[in-house]
Structure 1
Amino acid sequence: MRLRSDVFVSAITRRVFSRGDTAAVLRKGAEAAGAIFLRQRARDGVETLFGPAPQSLVTAQEEGGRLFERRLSSADPEAIDAALAREIRFDPDCWVVELETSDVSDLFETSQPDS
């Protein structure tokens, strides 16, 4: 059974704060099963957007967790805003969480290896 969206968002924001970094919920979605988008801001002004990975990439051992894919990498904030606006039009029940941290590798699983 997969964690509820609100529980996952709460856990990831607490983990970021416990490391001395900052996180904020920019958009609150459906509590039980809303899709979650993670917006990582870097100190140099560029951003990375992570979104839910396609279900075909989720294996049995990952069941119960959440798998993300990198949607945009080292992008301008305007590009991230535009991508999120499209996602929100498609799914108004989605969550958007901003992470101001340099390293997300230990916060959530991604379908691509870290580069």
Structure 2
Amino acid sequence: MADEETDDALRCFGLQKDEAKEPVKGKALDVCHVCDVWPRHVKALNLFLACMGQLQLSLGGMGGANWRAVQAINLAQEAVWQGLQGKAQVPVVQQYRVIEQEALRILNERELQALRKS
């Protein structure tokens, strides 16, 4: 994922990337530590980051724009590409949906605020 996309993804949750330099065998290393993620949720976060470009935006009506969830077939295919198949998909997709719901809540709240300003 490009740095700009990562920055946009983090801003969606009100976070920003910290750039730090850490010496490793005489070299500088870029370290991105934004927030802690429990190890059991890393797969769900990676799945979300892979799918976030597929969130759907519908336009029109008096309500303005509305963000919607990734289509289930696209989510399932991305999960397979990440090595999650069969029963291993179930808990990760459930965790993914929690992340996605919060992202959609934030995005739709921003759309509503923008509509009120106009």
Alignment TM-score, normalising by the size of structure 1: 0.29
Q: If each structure's helix is expressed as a fraction of its own residues, which one has the higher value?
A: 2
Question: Which structure has more strand as a fraction of its residues?
Answer: 1
Q: Which of the pair has more CA radius of gyration?
A: 2
Q: Looking at both structures, which has the greater relative contact order when contacts are Cα pairs under 8 Å and sequence separation is at least 6?
A: 1
